[in-house]
Amino acid sequence: MQKQACLAIIFLAGLAMGFQMTTGELEAQDRGQARSMAISRYGIVAAESPLAAQAGVAVLERGGTAADAAVAANAMMGVVAPMSDGIGGDLFALVYDVKTGKLYGLNASGWAPTGLNIELLKSKGFRAMPEHGIYSVTVPGAVDGWQKLLERFGRKKLADVLAPAIRAAQEGFPVTEMVGALWPRYVDLLRASENAAQTYLISDRAPRVGEIFRNPDLAWSYRQLAAQGRDAFYKGDIAQRILELSKRHGGTMTAKDLADYSSEWVQPISTTYNDWTVYELPPNGQGIAALEMLNLMENFPLVQFGFGSTRALHVMIEAKKLAYADLMRYIGDPKSAKLPVAGLLSKAYAKERAKLINMDKANCAVDAGVPAAAGDDTIYLSVVDRDGNMVSLIQSNFQSFGSGLVADGTGFVLHDRGALFSLDPASPNALAPHKRPLHTIIPALMQKGDVRIAFGIMGGWNQSQAHAQFVANVVDFKMNIQAALEAPRFTKQTFDGCDVQMEGRIAGNVRAELDAKGHKIEARGAFSALMGGGQAVQRDFAAGVNYGASDPRKDGAAVPELPPEK
């Protein structure tokens, strides 16, 4: 009897210990984020596809740099998410180089063909830039951007970094959930072009989730690049096929338009936000709007307002409207017009503009300011290597499947970035030969002391406003990079009116209070694709530790490099 009592006591004690451990584990997981950061002493690749992240990590593990890994991951994204990006599109990147301690910007956006101009389009009956078709196509800049990244910051040859993507394109891959949900929306666009339908449809339909999709034509194009470098695209067989397609559809692209193209290194622009420095690329991108938003937001005590509060969200939404009004009024290709970049980034200008924010009422008709004079579909990825080199890279077709046109046997769609030009001759963004359009895609980087974060959030005109929200989450609300990506966001896709889309995780009473101020709130899902999907990597240089984060709004992952074999 005594023995049975002792056993019972031991059994109950064991249950109690088990309960305590379970409770402790539950308390450890009682947090606001769904995923943990990837944390490593070695490199990390954060991309919108696990296959792309693994392709980048494989290059890191073979001694590649962050630049090598970024190109490898980008090439794989062109295989697995062909509606969003590919070598028929443009590219922008920020690169932090440990050796020099400097930040470099790369603008690999292409220009309009020589023969494409406002008069031509108006003579054909266009009153606005076409969104699809040959007249929306500008020279694709991504491949030249790859070459410049590798030449300046890489250790590997283009053939080495393209090898994983070539295998995936040839052998095929199972279509993932987010990509599989997007594909069916564009079946009609793809059916309108025989080459596009043959390339991207299976039995005249979109591939289903889990179905194997192969693209041997894209594998052929990648092999041309591996053998001949960027010249295969701009002067070789790929160029010839693009020109034949353009001629067949009545386009104006010439061999010289392609052969003369070169991406360029540019000086990043920046602002400070509550002791952090935030960097974006200069125009022709929209990154300046993110910096102007931050300058406006800095005039308000967001920390006191609290994350997700009515007042904090009201300030951010109103700051978005003011910054984007300036963006649309003043920004285009700086080579074609003198742009007031310094004036727009002035703290004094932001202080004056911030006075237009009425804390009690939404402004539904925002005009551009007068700064002082001064000399839909995208992928984003970020990489940090074991030495601390960082790449923030974004690449896009603009709208899904871009122009809807595929050159014979190439396996990639040509983008429709030219759709963003204006046919108003007075606009700084007016269409003109060899001019680059206003761009939506923007990479970013922020730093304070020994900490640097390379980040980006895709999604058309969503991007600058999403960048500003991410920065506020990290700086004001002390979130780690994973929590900052996951946090509920708002987006305003239009430039007029008071319409705003918000994720359903933003409290119902807050949405009601914003509605009372005049905002027209549309509640979306908990993790809405309208808010874009982001990736981020962080380097703590003092500790020598890297962090990675991947947005659950995408299929992706932040994948760390394995420790090298000694």
List the catalytic residues: 378
The alpha carbons of the chain give a radius of gyration, in whole angstroms, of: 24
- Report the DSSP beta bridge partners of residue 451: 448, 540
The CA dihedral of 531, 397, 108, 559, to the nearest 10 degrees, is: 60
Distance, CA of 242 to CA of 226 (rounded, Å): 18
* HEC readout, 132-154: CCHHHCCCCCHHHHHHHHHHHHC
DSSP state of 480: -
Alpha-carbon distance of 221 to 241, in angstroms, equals: 11
CA end-to-end distance (rounded Å), the chain: 61
- How many residues does this entry show for the chain? 566
Both structure tokens of 245: 């397609």
Q: List Cβ neighbours of 361 (8 Å cut-off, separation of 6 or more).
A: 517, 518
d(CA 526, CA 511): 14
Coil/strand/helix, residue 75: helix
Contacts for 163 with CB less than 8 Å, ≥ 6 apart: 226
Distance CA 279, CA 41 (A): 25
8 Å CB contact between 532 and 507: no
The residue among 183, 110, 103 whose CA lies nearest residue 144 is 110
**Helix, strand or coil for residue 197?**
helix
Burial of 136-155, coded b for 16+ CB within 10 Å and e otherwise, reads bbbbbbbbbbbbbbbeebbe
**Residue found by looking up tokens 């591996």 in the block:** 226
Q: What is the dihedral of CA 361, 364, 370, 376, to 10 degrees?
A: 120
The Cα-based distances of 417 to 45, 374, 465 in angstroms read 27, 28, 20
* Burial of 372: CB neighbours in 10 Å, binned 0-12, 13-18, 19+: exposed
Helices marked H in 372-486: 462-475, 481-486
- Which of 82, 158, 146 shows the shortest CA–CA distance to 415? 82
Contacts of 29 (CB under 8 A, 6+ apart): none
d(CA 199, CA 323): 40
